[in-house]
Amino acid sequence: MAEESDARGLVILHQDEDWLLVNKPAQQLVHPTRPDGARTLIDVVREAFPGETLAIINRLDRETSGLVLISRHSEAASLLGKMTMARQIRKRYQAIVQGAAVPGASIHARLGRLADRGQSRIFVKQGVLEAGATAVTRFRRLDSRRDGAGRVFSLLELELETGRLHQIRAHLRYVNLPVLGDKLYGPDDQCYLDFIEQGWTAGLAEKLLHPRQALHASQVEFDWKGNLVRVNCPLPEDLQEFWDGLRLAA
């Protein structure tokens, strides 16, 4: 079905009797983190589909925008969960990164929690560790451009062969292509710590160049009841506006 949007701000890109594909905006949590917190994506979907047994199949970080798959009953949740584990649900992402990316590559690098090895002050931060979990990310460069200061940016399309915490962001940092606006995997730990304490500041704007991480879940594809489902979600306005403001790289 075509894109729908209601008064709650819920944007449904595809609706099936068994599941939904919705477009999560940046800065919205998927699930509540505390009882008195802001309304989350699942809160909004429950209001739109009262009485249904809804479950989030793929989660996105707060600042990441794009496609989220939501089952509408327990049987669909079970089957979609098994398909996810079997890597039968194919997901693609787009990211604006800082740096001149090669046309395409696969990143094979084990990931683990850096704080466990004393390599970060931030408990959740992931990085390449020899004893970490296997992680593989594939990407291709869609375009490269420069800003007025001559800094190069690349627009990438990415696919995950594994699903580790913060995998895309940690892998891109590892190959010196940090995601634009990424406070956690940007220049240093202090960016994230300053943001937690002070919020978005002029100093962070100067370092990170964009107020949120430029990562977007752009496509979901899977087979359902004998039919191929492929749903695309274009870059949101804030990322497209940043990209359109750049000039073609020489």
Catalytic residue set: 61
Query: Minimal CA–CA distance to 24: which of 61, 52, 53, 51?
Result: 61
Pick from 108, 102, 96: which is nearest to 151 by CA?
Answer: 96
Q: Are 167 and 135 in contact (CB under 8 A)?
A: yes
Q: Are strands 111-113 and 126-128 parallel, antiparallel or unpaired?
A: antiparallel
